[in-house]
Structures are given as C-alpha cells and as structure tokens.
C-alpha cells in the first residue's frame, strides 16, 4: 500500500510506489473515456453510434456481457454483426479491447467464429488490434447446455426468463461460486486448467445428471484454442491505466452491451442479464478509476422494444406494434427472436438517466415512425390513481400501472434524406423537443436510416 503524507497546506497527497514522486490525490487522469450505454432494454442501435465515433477513436472497449449481445453496423453495402467484438474494429487504426477485468465473459469458439466471418467480409488485421483480458471468465459449451436445462426446469413459460441460452448466467454463477475458469488459467498451467475444467464438469453434472460433456474432446479443443488466443491476451487493467494516463491525447470509447434496464441490479429483475450494464459496470469491467469517466451518451430508440419476457408498460400488442416490428426489422441480432414493440417510455429513460447521468442522447430509428398518423410518448405511471415517483422495482406493480401519454401529430413523410436538424418536418422536430423537455437532456444524434451516414448530428 502506498504511504500517505500530509503537506502543510492540508491537501492529501499520495506517494507513487513505483517512482517515488508525490502527486496530488485529486489529480485527474490525462484521458477520460466516453461511455455509450443503452437507455432502454437493449437493441437501441449502440453499435451505430460507436461506429460513428470510432472513426476518430484510439481505443474502443467492451466491458460487460458476452456473446448474448449483438450490434449491427452497415458500412456501404456491407452489414457487420458483432457479438463479442467491439464495433470499433471497423476502424483499422483503433485498438479494440474486450473482456476486461471481471465483467465480460468469453466463449472462445464463438469469438473465433465471429472473427472469421468478419474477416471474410473484408475486415483485415483484426487479430493484431484485438486485446483480450487475462481476467475474463470463459464460457464453455457446458454452460450453454446448462442455460437451456435451467430454462426447461422452470417449466411454464411464465416462469421462464427468456434467456439467450448463450451460457452467460451459468458462467457468472460459476464465477460467483469460485468455480469459474479465466483465460489466465487457460494460457497458464494447462494441467491445472484441465483439473479445473474436470471439476467444473463434475459440479454441473451433480446438478444436472443428464448433462453430456465429452471431457477429453473439450480439453483437446481448448489446448488448440489456448495457442490461438495467447497472442491477444494481456493485462488490460494495466493497459487501460496506461491509456488513460498517456500524456498524448487518447480518444477512448467504452461500448456498452445490453442496456440499463437489463442490469442485474437495477433492471427489471429477474428478467435481466447477468452483468452490470450501467455506467458503474465500466469501472468494475475495465479496472479504471471513477475519474476516468467523461461523457456518458445514452442511446434510445424512438420507440421502445424488448426481447424475451418481462414487464413492458407501453407495449403495443396489435396493429401498430406489429407495424413497428416489421418496419424496424425488430428481430434479435443474436437470437433472431422478434422484439416486442411499444411507444417510447420516458419513465424508463428518466430512470436510466438517474443511474447513468447522460451528457446527451442519441435517438435512433426515428424514420420508423414516418407512417404514423399520431405518435404517443409515455411520460408517467399511475397505480390506483396515484402518480408514481419513478420506475418501480416490484414486477406485480408494473403489471398494473396505467401510463400517462402525450399524444403528438405524426409527420407522415419520409425523413431518411434529412442530414440537418432543420431538414426534419416540424412534427418530427416537435417530437424531439418534447423528449428533451421531459428529460432535461439534449438529443445530439438522430438516426433516420439504416446506413452508416443516415444520422443527423447536432452540435
């Protein structure tokens, strides 16, 4: 532990254990990270905003989740689907970091499959620019099998969580019970890795006797994967702190996975993911100090969607919802499951703003509302006539809330060619302005189409 000394001025200073230099404890890092997080239940289009900013980025990081998340980025006529890879890999001069410290879990076969598919689409040099944390936990095929077995064990659909069955939850459970296996184990002592893997299989077979695992085949496969992944593995805690303290300016982007309403602690539990996907997850996921966080941009879809089960107060279950689903191509990148659609819910976004402290918002898919005669925005919840202060934790209460809406006139025209804010019809401008007034947060980017440059940026 570093020694502390008290200067005559009374300001606390810390002695740097490596250099012996004395620096003020309140000194800021040289480079702060720009964080991009989902403001709803995911699928907001975070990848597109990351791609937009990553053109100038030096480092793009993933810090939470696993290959249960998916981002789509369209460049020219090429559509890229990313699951574990940060969207910033499209920028050939940008370093991409995944799996930092505690919060991101990696399914190596899935990662290499993703690398191969994107290399086939023309992305080159990804493996040389990709860095994977030695502290990231491994997702094994057995975790994915257990994920499905656990869902089946719940029986009735209303008791199921609608997981992606990518093994993320069981991997976090292994980690929390101290039986998890990290990448550092894989590329270290292989005999020790083998012992840990066999123990992991034994534990899961005790809980699920029907689980089938070919231990010898898996160990042989991971011996090869260890050598393939070894050149990419680094101590990313040390690396990230080098980057944030680099005397040269560094543009750092942290790319959120999933979204705030799927956060294991603050989301609609238990219909959530297994990691912290709010801004707090950046600190535990990358191993950086709080001072390293700069702007936090929330990405919000112009309407609301969610995949799987769980409460959804503004859901549209009839014609309008089906129309949004078809026009917006609302089908999961990872699971291909249809997304449930509903009106924009600002109770949700206000709540996630409290959690994340948005500097500004990016609103995507505004063009999907082009055909509607009128558009509603949910602005408050009531229960038995009483106005609720915020988004409630109790799911049975959520099932019973009534939503207060603001109803606006639709613009009924194609806005996909708009590239300036003033190019939008007055009804669309009004929609954006109502959102800003309700949230007290500016909308800086507006998505009006699927392609990379179908974005309006307001300075």
Kindly report, residue by residue over 135-177, the tens digit of the pLDDT: 999 999 999 999 889 877 665 445 445 566 788 889 989 998 9
Q: How far apart are CA 147 and CA 29, in angstroms?
A: 41
What average pLDDT score do residues 128-137 get?
91
For the chain, the straight-line distance linking the first and the last C-alpha, in angstroms and rounded, comes to 45
> Which H or E run includes 5?
strand 4-6
- Any known ligand binding at 69? yes
Instruction: Check the annotation: does 449 bind a ligand.
Output: yes
Beta strands in 290-430 (DSSP E): 293-301, 304-306, 340-342, 344-345, 360-364, 374-383, 386-387, 402-409
Residue 65 and residue 281: Cα distance in Å, rounded? Answer: 10
Strand partners, 399: none
Instruction: Measure the CA–CA gap between 400 and 423, rounded to whole angstroms.
Output: 41
Q: To which residue do tokens 């009106």 refer?
A: 343
Lowest-confidence region among 30-39, 120-129, 317-326:
120-129
Sign of CA dihedral 152, 155, 157, 160: negative
pLDDT for res 164: 65
Give me the chain's average pLDDT, please.
Answer: 87
Q: Where are the beta strands (DSSP E) in 165-324?
A: 233-234, 252-255, 293-301, 304-306
Looking from the CA of 395 toward its CB, the CA atoms found within 13 Å total 14
122 known ligand binder: no
Among 123, 142, 136, 115, residue whose Cα is nearest residue 78? 123
Question: Annotation-wise, does 236 bind a ligand?
Answer: no
48 annotated ligand binder: yes
Coil, strand or helix at 166: coil
Which residues belong to the active site? 43, 71, 175
Does 83 show up as a binding residue in the annotation?
Answer: no
Q: Name the helix (H) or strand (E) containing 185.
A: helix 183-187
Backbone angles phi, psi at 275, to 5 degrees: -135, 175
**Strand, coil or helix: 377:** strand
Residue 194 pLDDT? 97
Largest CA distance in the chain: 71
Domain with CATH 1.10.300.10 in the chain: 138-230
The predicted-structure confidence for 177-188, as pLDDT tens digits, reads as follows 999 999 999 999
422 three-state secondary structure: helix
Q: Which fold has domain 138-230?
A: Adenylosuccinate Synthetase, subunit A; domain 2 (1.10.300)
- Give dist(CA 344, CA 260) in Å, integer: 15
Would you place residue 18 in the very low, low, confident or very high pLDDT band (cuts 50, 70, 90)? very low
pTM of the shown model: 0.85
């Amino acid at each position: 532990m570093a020694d502390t000394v008290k200067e005559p001025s009374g300001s606390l200073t810390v002695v740097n254990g490596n250099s012996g230099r004395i620096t003020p404890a309140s000194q800021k890092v040289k480079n702060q990270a720009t964080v991009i997080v989902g403001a709803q239940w995911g699928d907001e289009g975070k990848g597109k905003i990351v791609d937009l900013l990553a053109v100038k980025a030096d480092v793009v990081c993933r810090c939470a989740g696993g290959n249960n998340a998916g981002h789509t980025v369209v460049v020219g006529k090429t559509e890229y689907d990313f699951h574990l890879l940060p969207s910033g890999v499209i920028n050939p001069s940008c370093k991409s970091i995944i799996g930092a410290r505690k919060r991101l879990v990696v399914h190596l076969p899935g990662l290499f499959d993703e690398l191969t598919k994107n290399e086939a689409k023309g992305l080159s040099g990804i493996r040389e620019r990709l860095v994977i944390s030695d502290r990231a936990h491994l997702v094994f095929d057995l975790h994915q099998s257990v994920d499905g077995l656990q869902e089946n064990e719940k029986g009735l659909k209303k008791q199921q969580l609608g997981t992606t069955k990518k093994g993320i939850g069981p991997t976090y459970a292994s980690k929390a019970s101290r039986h998890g296996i990290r990448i550092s184990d894989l590329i270290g002592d292989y005999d020790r890795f083998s012992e840990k893997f066999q123990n992991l299989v034994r534990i899961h077979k005790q809980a699920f006797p029907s689980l089938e695992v070919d231990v010898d085949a898996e160990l042989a496969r991971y011996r090869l994967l260890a050598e393939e992944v070894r050149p990419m593995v680094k101590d990313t805690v040390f690396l990230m702190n080098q980057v944030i303290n680099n005397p040269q300016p560094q543009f750092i982007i942290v790319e959120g996975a999933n979204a705030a309403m799927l956060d294991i602690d603050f989301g609609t539990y238990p219909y959530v993911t297994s990691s912290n996907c709010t801004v707090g997850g950046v600190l535990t996921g990358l191993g950086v100090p709080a001072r390293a966080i700069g702007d936090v941009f929330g990405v919000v879809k112009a309407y609301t969607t969610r995949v799987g089960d769980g409460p959804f107060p503004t859901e549209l279950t009839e014609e309008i919802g089906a129309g949004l689903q078809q026009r917006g191509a609302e089908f999961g990148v990872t699971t291909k499951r249809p997304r449930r659609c509903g009106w924009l819910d600002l109770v949700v976004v206000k709540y996630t703003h409290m959690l994340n402290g948005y500097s500004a918002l990016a609103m995507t898919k505004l063009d999907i509302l082009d055909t509607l005669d009128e558009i509603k925005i949910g602005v408050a919840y009531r229960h038995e006539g009483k106005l609720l202060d915020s988004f409630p934790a109790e799911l049975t209460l959520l099932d019973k809330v009534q939503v207060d809406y603001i109803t606006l006139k639709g613009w009924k025209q194609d806005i996909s060619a708009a590239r300036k804010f003033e190019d939008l019809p007055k009804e669309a401008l009004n929609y954006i302005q109502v959102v800003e007034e309700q949230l007290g947060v500016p909308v800086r980017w507006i998505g009006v189409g699927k392609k990379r440059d179908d974005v309006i940026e307001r300075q």
